[in-house]
Structure 1
């Protein structure tokens, strides 16, 4: 692509034009010189292959030195005897097509019950990033090549691995003493190993230890202990405390007592993590306690940020994690169909306080268990755990993503009665051996619920769930999400278009820039998206709002994209705020321990579930999550009158269209609550207003209540409160919004608005919206009547403090900070 020999598969339908790449055998070759001083007395010379994608045969000067079949494994090969001094050495890597090898392995192992329920079966036996075969958000781009660096190393001594085991001793709920043991795996002998541990600003401990034990040929383990560090600096997740760290320096020392043979550094963060699974009145809890504090986990799921992995720079990783953190999120789940991420990813999470739920790389399949495969998986797991275990952000390892598809494929699974791993190998679900035996002491899968809830047929009382009865499954209305939660919702989502500036970047032909065009459909890989997205939009909005006249907006692209974005924002906002409501509700019980949206990001420009697109341009849903995860949040919902999925008629056993459309005007009940992540009580004033959508006037006297918000939980203010028109009923009842605002020390800290459903029945003309530029970088908005879904057009180069919000008259003017490097802002709203 860089040389103009191939079309960009991210543009138009070019993905189809480059499919031939995956069918070829590819040869990579380089020549290099190796001077004699690389092989001084006692020196060794290695070639290190950090990652080969995927089926590779490596030769050096015509001799095979390595055969690799696992993308996730690093290889180190001693080559000193093969180098040609001061002349050209030739290194060649030949890559075989992954799909072809995968199909061959399926035929070779017919007894291993290959099941793949995303894309095709060839990916199952190949240890390669599974999303390269395509997914319901990603293209089929089967890459090959050295996807991580290849380097030449010479050394006389090498520190191969450092392991720090520690225990935080607790006193009255706070860690006070750290006890640590440090092991160093050193290749080739050293007289001693020197360990120095620095806490911020000072040297805490320095030890020179000669204790060693054999660890294979020419390999030793050195063990040092550091005891009794009082009041150690702690690492906290974002929002709960600082991300303090210590620096570890480890050196191997020669026999003269001063010469440093090798040196390694690690940054360590000390924290105590507990997964709390206790029986309660709702079933069995699933939440995390960190440093003695119960932590509500709100965040997103992560897929690889590009189909071409070497293009993701450390800065791009940093930009993504900063985006996550700025959105009040404190957790990211590294999904099992991608990769074990770059060190830059985990370092950014460490520094910004983002908890990492790390899947092993298995997704949506029943994987084989023949010996070579299991051996490769064991090496893969061992290497990657060792590589990233020192990162304090990594707090949970999970066996797979959605591999426990038991009912769907009639797989054998007797969790309570069959505890023999060898018998699992002979069952119709042999992959259980991987998740519950080969990879021990982990969360077996996501979703998973202690053996009783292991499929997408979720059990809301135990474990984590993927809630896909929104969009997938029964495709329920998003308004029903409050009743669809669980103990920990690790996936849920709604599809939306990206902003039109992004669409114009991947749709080159202007004639294809309309909603539902061939190219737009090609860039939406979600199954039956044509039906589902149109159904959700049609249920909630007037299709005329997408635009019907001439011009850019008349194409329907801008308007339809906007409606899908408001839909996604409403759905995700409802999920987060309503499930967070169950954190500390009902006498302090942790009914819901966390919520993760599917998904944070994209690997190419596409219509998907992502809340920020491939170019890091945020959709309105990103801001809905940000508002729902603020430290102090007010929430309001009203009784939902379902106009689309009514229960079956008792006589005819079928759905009917006979419904009383007046009920949303007369049968009104609502709830108001305040959620807090603060660790101390907060006193405030709650104001609830009832505002006519038609006139902008309040239809009934407002409610004001003093509230004391309980710490780290939810405070219910109104539950099932029945709205009575009273004297206001002298005029015909009309549609109104319920607007709740929370005030602390005279300042408004949070608002929420409940609209009558469906929005398509409402008239949004003549809103009286005014957008004023107060000063450079600050915009102020006000309205004469309630406004739904105000969205500023975003693109690369613009940064907003908020977007995709509602506005009501009589409230505090809405202020939005703007960092813009280009043109003037444009905006729209529902019904404009």
Structure 2
């Protein structure tokens, strides 16, 4: 009898469930949509948006082609309805809690579950969570109605006795660039732009945004950490912490003084570094909640152990602006990032992977996520963590003044809290910045004109409520990341823009200053400067839907959103470059022009280190096929700027400049170690004859920029328009020209080529008897050249890899700047 009872007890114990985990159902199937006033439903994709759904159903023409953008403006003015059905099992219905999670609704949405109104959403940047236990059934219908933003914007505008700059977009919390920008179309989306999930649970449901690993102490020997659990279940449960899959700490129950905090330690911790300074090491940390042997829930987070500081200290010149990571001053090299597509659902994981690989390949260690776009998808920040890319993160406010009523401010506060909690665990995020250019606009762009003092005071006070109160307080509450109120600190109309804070230098482009201006006016941190160029032939052919390169069609002109863009490119080209005859050559020359000016600025800023500690150009990428400031076009093709910025962003840079007939050569070292080696300088004519040379052994301090050689050019007799300086330090080389590109007396010669098959494409071997400047390789096959727009020295072989899936390669086209010298 006792034996049978024992067997019964053991049997019952072994039959107990080993877990009672939450169940998550992604509601991404069976969606339909229609215009509210229509009766016919069409298939829809979730996550998605109404433009993509209309396009996929062939109900509109592609707005990225020709002038089609103009034909689809009615879409943004209409109201749209989405619906789906989903079934649940009877077992699942027994769960105690049911919550619908809406990760992103764009924007003014009424949500109905089984014909009951459960939510009125009004912010595309917020997540919405609704308890639906009382309404959930075996068979369910979920329906959402999206109303045009213009209706709500008109109502908000009516409440004010004055006009706010810039337009109606300021009243709606959604991506501001969708209302049109000088590099992007006016395509104001609506729809379910991020996932919808139904979560069911009994006792415990741990949410990722409410689980935060806090660094209490970090040094070489110990990382003392807490896991903060806002969804803290109970003191009666047990907790286990795993680090990289190994049990690190366990608690049968948490002590009363640790409510909501699970403490653990990592000995001899590995630090997370930007990729050019070390390994961006990530720990996999997992916390498990149990009731006895039963697992109730668990959650895993990636954690990079690092410290980050924004150093703004008064000095003899003004005030510094730079980042310290793990106590090391970091020179920031990179670009400004905008959304990769006007329709976010069209951006796939492989698009993030490719673009961020291109960032690392170009020796960039920072991206600025610009404030007129979106708080990016989790995968963007995950990849920045993995690849060691620092992120300057703007809050989503750009080039405008915003309202200050209680409803708007409450909405902003919740938006900020949610996004800070979602993103705070990412070691890549080095800064939260309040806005892009709103302060500069107020102080310099004429926004105060014709306003009375009371009006100006109210608008500015509303600005301060958001950017000097709500946002910094929320950042300080939920993260240990620095906050910066506005970018730039001073506009270019204020002379302090060069000596304090970060700067946006648009004297070039907008004000027509020559590129040399960038060499004489370096700020403490350049967070924006740029110049436009045409995209690749492929993009132009797509816009026009024909094989020839036509840059005069009305459809193509619609893809230049700056009112004077074509004229400005033309003016600068006439100053520095020969003007080409054909459209194809004009595209090539525009890219050289952009690269020439921006790399002139990059190298001047890097030479000025440590006075200047950052160089971020505008802009990295495009959201549609366009003539723009990007260095990578809409199809992911590298423009000349991206190739040349890669060289200018090398960790060890050799850079020269002539000042008062004195040739000066700097070595810039961004590495943590001292470097020794041989610096070789040669003056060479375009046929390869050496006019003068010098060699010497030098050492370069870590994290430094120093003039390592000077030469009085008056002591040498040479023709500046026929000579190049070749500078080599160890494996790093640079070429320096003494005159503008259009004034060079380049020679004409054939470029010999040899192509061989490789495992992932082809190797292209090139040789010429004379200097060939800005050699551009192209092909009809889809692929990527490892180098392009490069200078081929006389009688020296260069081998370029063409990475492609094509099995044949018989259409290599070679263009060289030499052919434009007449």
Verify same fold: TM over 0.5.
Answer: yes
Q: 1:492 aligned to 2:539?
A: no
Q: Rate the CA distance shift 1:302–1:193 in 2: closer, same or farther, 3 A.
A: farther
State the TM-score, normalized to the length of structure 1: 0.85
Per the alignment, residue 130 of structure 1 pairs with 176
Once the 2 structures are TM-superposed, how far is the Cα of residue 676 of structure 1 from its aligned partner? 1.2
Looking at structure 1, the residues matched to 663 and 252 of structure 2 have their Cα atoms a distance apart, in angstroms, of: 67
SS of the equivalent of 2:260 reads: strand
Q: 1:541 aligned to 2:574?
A: no
Q: 1:703 aligned to 2:703?
A: no
SS of the equivalent of 2:221 reads: strand
Per the alignment, residue 96 of structure 2 pairs with 43
Q: Rate the CA distance shift 1:455–1:127 in 2: closer, same or farther, 3 A.
A: farther
Match of 2:70 among 1, 6, 16: 16
Per the alignment, residue 458 of structure 2 pairs with 426
SS of the equivalent of 1:571 reads: helix
Match of 2:165 among 85, 109, 115: 115
Q: Rate the CA distance shift 1:718–1:188 in 2: closer, same or farther, 3 A.
A: closer
Looking at structure 1, the residues matched to 793 and 259 of structure 2 have their Cα atoms a distance apart, in angstroms, of: 67
Q: Rate the CA distance shift 1:424–1:81 in 2: closer, same or farther, 3 A.
A: farther
Looking at structure 2, the residues matched to 197 and 714 of structure 1 have their Cα atoms a distance apart, in angstroms, of: 44
Match of 1:593 among 613, 616, 622: 613
Q: 1:165 aligned to 2:214?
A: yes
Per the alignment, residue 258 of structure 1 pairs with 293
Match of 1:206 among 243, 250, 267: 250
Match of 1:140 among 183, 186, 204: 186
Q: Rate the CA distance shift 1:268–1:568 in 2: closer, same or farther, 3 A.
A: same
Match of 1:724 among 714, 721, 726: 714
Q: For 1:380-459, list aligned pairs within 5 A.
A: 380-404=415-439, 405-409=441-445, 426-440=458-472, 441=476, 442-449=482-489, 459=497
Once the 2 structures are TM-superposed, how far is the Cα of residue 764 of structure 1 from its aligned partner? 3.5
Match of 1:738 among 713, 718, 724: 724
Once the 2 structures are TM-superposed, how far is the Cα of residue 427 of structure 1 from its aligned partner? 4.9
Looking at structure 1, the residues matched to 553 and 746 of structure 2 have their Cα atoms a distance apart, in angstroms, of: 28
SS of the equivalent of 1:436 reads: helix
SS of the equivalent of 1:630 reads: coil
Match of 1:821 among 805, 809, 814: 805
Match of 2:108 among 49, 55, 58: 55
Q: For 1:633-652, list aligned pairs within 5 A.
A: 633-639=653-659
State the TM-score, normalized to the length of structure 2: 0.86
User: Do the aligned residues in 2 keep the contact of 1:689 with 1:739 (CA within 8 Å)?
Assistant: yes
Per the alignment, residue 357 of structure 1 pairs with 392
Q: Rate the CA distance shift 1:397–1:741 in 2: closer, same or farther, 3 A.
A: same
Q: 1:93 aligned to 2:80?
A: no
User: Do the aligned residues in 2 keep the contact of 1:466 with 1:492 (CA within 8 Å)?
Assistant: yes
Match of 1:769 among 743, 746, 751: 751
SS of the equivalent of 1:178 reads: strand
Q: 1:223 aligned to 2:255?
A: no
Once the 2 structures are TM-superposed, how far is the Cα of residue 768 of structure 1 from its aligned partner? 4.2
User: Do the aligned residues in 1 keep the contact of 2:488 with 2:527 (CA within 8 Å)?
Assistant: no
Once the 2 structures are TM-superposed, how far is the Cα of residue 410 of structure 1 from its aligned partner? 6.0
Spell out, residue by residue over 1:31-70, the C-alpha distance to the aligned partner (whole angstroms, 9 max, x if none): 2223332231x51111111100001011112211100110
Spell out, residue by residue over 1:85-130, the C-alpha distance to the aligned partner (whole angstroms, 9 max, x if none): 3x3x22111111113322331222335x5111xxxx1100100111
Once the 2 structures are TM-superposed, how far is the Cα of residue 454 of structure 1 from its aligned partner? 9.1
Per the alignment, residue 679 of structure 2 pairs with 686
Q: For 1:477-488, list aligned pairs within 5 A.
A: 477-488=514-525
Spell out, residue by residue over 1:316-356, the C-alpha distance to the aligned partner (whole angstroms, 9 max, x if none): 21211111111111111111111111110011111110111
Q: For 1:559-708, list aligned pairs within 5 A.
A: 559-583=585-609, 590-639=610-659, 668-693=661-686, 696-698=688-690, 700-708=691-699
Q: Rate the CA distance shift 1:466–1:794 in 2: closer, same or farther, 3 A.
A: farther
SS of the equivalent of 1:397 reads: strand
Looking at structure 1, the residues matched to 402 and 488 of structure 2 have their Cα atoms a distance apart, in angstroms, of: 17
Spell out, residue by residue over 1:184-219, the C-alpha distance to the aligned partner (whole angstroms, 9 max, x if none): 1227657325141414x7443334443579xxxxxx
Looking at structure 2, the residues matched to 407 and 210 of structure 1 have their Cα atoms a distance apart, in angstroms, of: 54
Per the alignment, residue 217 of structure 1 pairs with none
User: Do the aligned residues in 1 keep the contact of 2:683 with 2:726 (CA within 8 Å)?
Assistant: no
Match of 2:508 among 462, 465, 470: 470
Once the 2 structures are TM-superposed, how far is the Cα of residue 425 of structure 1 from its aligned partner? 7.5
Spell out, residue by residue over 1:790-820, the C-alpha distance to the aligned partner (whole angstroms, 9 max, x if none): 112267731222111123325x532322212
Deviates more, 1:733-742 or 1:373-382: 733-742
Alpha-carbon RMSD: 2.6
Once the 2 structures are TM-superposed, how far is the Cα of residue 831 of structure 1 from its aligned partner? 4.0
User: Do the aligned residues in 2 keep the contact of 1:685 with 1:704 (CA within 8 Å)?
Assistant: yes
Looking at structure 2, the residues matched to 50 and 262 of structure 1 have their Cα atoms a distance apart, in angstroms, of: 21
Q: 1:802 aligned to 2:793?
A: no
Q: Rate the CA distance shift 1:676–1:734 in 2: closer, same or farther, 3 A.
A: closer
Once the 2 structures are TM-superposed, how far is the Cα of residue 453 of structure 1 from its aligned partner? 6.3
Looking at structure 2, the residues matched to 189 and 35 of structure 1 have their Cα atoms a distance apart, in angstroms, of: 29
User: Do the aligned residues in 2 keep the contact of 1:158 with 1:187 (CA within 8 Å)?
Assistant: no
Q: Rate the CA distance shift 1:324–1:79 in 2: closer, same or farther, 3 A.
A: same
Per the alignment, residue 705 of structure 2 pairs with 714
Looking at structure 2, the residues matched to 194 and 188 of structure 1 have their Cα atoms a distance apart, in angstroms, of: 11
Q: Rate the CA distance shift 1:795–1:158 in 2: closer, same or farther, 3 A.
A: farther
Per the alignment, residue 38 of structure 2 pairs with none
Q: 1:461 aligned to 2:499?
A: yes
Looking at structure 2, the residues matched to 691 and 722 of structure 1 have their Cα atoms a distance apart, in angstroms, of: 17
Spell out, residue by residue over 1:277-304, the C-alpha distance to the aligned partner (whole angstroms, 9 max, x if none): 2233432211111112221110111101
Per the alignment, residue 514 of structure 1 pairs with 550
Spell out, residue by residue over 1:761-805, the C-alpha distance to the aligned partner (whole angstroms, 9 max, x if none): 334441443333366432233333332211122677312221111
Deviates more, 1:708-717 or 1:100-109: 100-109
Looking at structure 2, the residues matched to 806 and 541 of structure 1 have their Cα atoms a distance apart, in angstroms, of: 16
Looking at structure 1, the residues matched to 813 and 251 of structure 2 have their Cα atoms a distance apart, in angstroms, of: 62
Looking at structure 1, the residues matched to 598 and 526 of structure 2 have their Cα atoms a distance apart, in angstroms, of: 12
User: Do the aligned residues in 1 keep the contact of 2:321 with 2:524 (CA within 8 Å)?
Assistant: yes
Q: 1:76 aligned to 2:149?
A: no
Q: 1:785 aligned to 2:770?
A: yes
Looking at structure 1, the residues matched to 456 and 91 of structure 2 have their Cα atoms a distance apart, in angstroms, of: 54
Spell out, residue by residue over 1:382-438, the C-alpha distance to the aligned partner (whole angstroms, 9 max, x if none): 1111111111111211111111123225678xxxxxxxxx99973545212211110
Per the alignment, residue 186 of structure 1 pairs with 231
Once the 2 structures are TM-superposed, how far is the Cα of residue 377 of structure 1 from its aligned partner? 0.6
Looking at structure 2, the residues matched to 427 and 576 of structure 1 have their Cα atoms a distance apart, in angstroms, of: 37
Q: Structure 2 unaligned runs (5+)?
A: 1-54, 449-453, 477-481
Per the alignment, residue 221 of structure 2 pairs with 176
User: Do the aligned residues in 2 keep the contact of 1:453 with 1:463 (CA within 8 Å)?
Assistant: no
Q: Structure 1 unaligned runs (5+)?
A: 214-219, 413-421, 548-555, 584-589, 640-666
Once the 2 structures are TM-superposed, how far is the Cα of residue 827 of structure 1 from its aligned partner? 2.0
User: Do the aligned residues in 1 keep the contact of 2:397 with 2:436 (CA within 8 Å)?
Assistant: yes
User: Do the aligned residues in 1 keep the contact of 2:283 with 2:304 (CA within 8 Å)?
Assistant: yes
Per the alignment, residue 3 of structure 1 pairs with 57
Looking at structure 1, the residues matched to 252 and 800 of structure 2 have their Cα atoms a distance apart, in angstroms, of: 57
Per the alignment, residue 405 of structure 2 pairs with 370
User: Do the aligned residues in 2 keep the contact of 1:691 with 1:786 (CA within 8 Å)?
Assistant: no
